[in-house]
Amino acid sequence: MKNKFLYILVLFCLITVSCEIDEQVDPNAPSLNSVAENATPQELNLLVNGILASMRTGYGEYVTGPGSIAREMYRFDADPRNTEDLLGKDGVGLDNNTFYLTSPYNSRYRVIKTANVLLDALNNTTSVTEAEKEGYRGFARTIQGLMYTQVLNMLGSNGIRFDVSDPEILGPFLSEAEGWQRIQVLFDQAADHLNGASFAFTLNDGWSGFSDPAGFLQVNRALAARALARAGLYEAVEGTLSSSFYDLNGNLTTGPKMVFSLSSGDIQNPVFRVPNENGNQLVVHNRFIEDAISGDSRLGKFSARAIPTSLDSLNGTHQTALYPSNVSPIDIIRNEELIFIYAEAQMNLNNAGNFVTAMNVIRQANGLDDYSGGTSMEEMIDEYLFQRGYSFWGEAKLMFDLRTYGRLNDANLPIDRPGDIIHTQFPIPLAENQ
């Protein structure tokens, strides 16, 4: 196990420019050249493990940055940028060269790069069958699609750099629409690979139920449906959902997860916080307590602090209880979200009856009465965003949901301090402009 983690560390340092370590010789860790030219199944599988491990890196900032902007939470710690920059204190803009942008951005592209190393290695090895190569390709391109989705969520209309396979000749920044189109092509390519593929690798426990090509293909289709909805391509959503694990009557929690542990070399859940901690807090924005419907079981995601907390003229009475422990898994995508995606598509296709049916599934599962509101477009959007806010609190969705429907502004979100502004997207990182 120790050798495996050392190998992954060495490999990541070889394929990224930001990691510097002294040169070492490890007889158990093959060189990058051997992976590129004549990879063994063990080497290919270590790349798979590395992708699964590194896709968790930067996830904490991916949650807390957008979550602060959308007034879901405050991150109270020693860094003033969490309560200044992200909340637009006194009109300040977002920094294009600081942790809340560079951590999630760079880590997403490191995963994409590792997947490219895997894809390149497959072209130069005879150690696995063609069906097994297709399995690796389907896995790699699906995870790349997920990473690109997260980057484009953050950057919005700033677009995305998609072509990064050759670090010496990077592709241009694409528009947001072009980015979603390329992401969809990537998911579709991955699906084609998975059809008829076999897996020569083993996925971790977070993929239970989805660890063979057929199950992984269902996840691919779920992620593709999410991207289609974000792109506004609602006509294609329902057909894509039908090939996923979407189940209107199924368990809302079904889906793949990122897993964590206390093992040496592994990482812990980055969004977990110790209850009533004073130095590193994720504080629930008061509006989620004040606006809640009595009896909503999702309120269990919040716990009242023994003593209310405050920092930088901001205050809160409740803290996150989203994850029970520092090794709790984090959903990659779950059936609950697929039901919301179905509801969103039906709403935008003017199928109000189907929208209400889906929303009632969510409401009933959380102890609420059936929806009794109106079915004008604005009324359905209100209901959709309200329910999404509680179902996915602390999961980096609300900022992007509000932006999609033109609600990411001070007319729809509270301004907690005079002079604060609401950001709508993250800037292109400084390093991308050099």
pLDDT category of residue 22 using cuts at 50, 70 and 90: very low
Q: Which backbone phi and psi does 78 adopt, to 5 degrees?
A: -80, -10
What residue type is 74 in one-letter code? Y
pLDDT > 90? residue 190: yes
pLDDT for the residue 37: 80
Q: pLDDT tens-digit profile of 356-365? A: 999 999 999 9
Which residues are bridge partners to 331 per DSSP? 257
Q: What's the pLDDT score for residue 15?
A: 46
Confidence of residue 11 (pLDDT cuts 50, 70, 90): low
Matching residue, tokens 């007034």:
71
Helix (H) or strand (E) holding 12: helix 2-15
- Give the whole-angstrom CA distance, residue 87 versus residue 93: 9
The residue that leads in pLDDT, 114 or 26, is: 114
- The mean pLDDT of 67-78, rounded to a whole number, is 98
pLDDT for position 167: 86
Give the tokens for residue 45. Answer: 């599988």
205 contact partners, CB below 8 Å, separation of at least 6: 259
Q: Map out the domains of the chain as residue ranges.
A: 2-265, 281-320
Q: Which residues contact 299 (CB under 8 A, 6 or more apart)?
A: 292, 390
Average pLDDT over residues 275-302: 97
Q: What does the pLDDT read at residue 34?
A: 63
Residue range 66-73: mean pLDDT, rounded: 98
What would be the CATH architecture of the domain defined by 2-265? Alpha Horseshoe (1.25)
pLDDT, residue 5, reads 43
Query: What rounded mean pLDDT belongs to the chain?
Result: 93
User: Given this model, what pLDDT does residue 38 score?
Assistant: 85
Strand partners, 284: 73
| pLDDT at site 21 | 33
The proportion of the chain whose per-residue pLDDT surpasses 90, expressed as a percent, equals 90
In terms of Cα–Cα distance, which of 99, 121, 125, 134 is closest to 32? Answer: 121
pLDDT band at 32 (very low <50, low <70, confident <90, very high): low
pLDDT of 434 > 80? The answer is no
Q: What is the pLDDT of residues 225-277, one digit of tens each?
A: 999 999 999 999 999 999 999 999 999 999 999 999 999 999 999 999 999 99
Alpha-carbon distance of 128 to 145, in angstroms, equals 24
The answer on pLDDT for 14 being more than 70 is: no
Predicted confidence at residue 31, as pLDDT, reads: 52
- The pLDDT of residue 241: 98
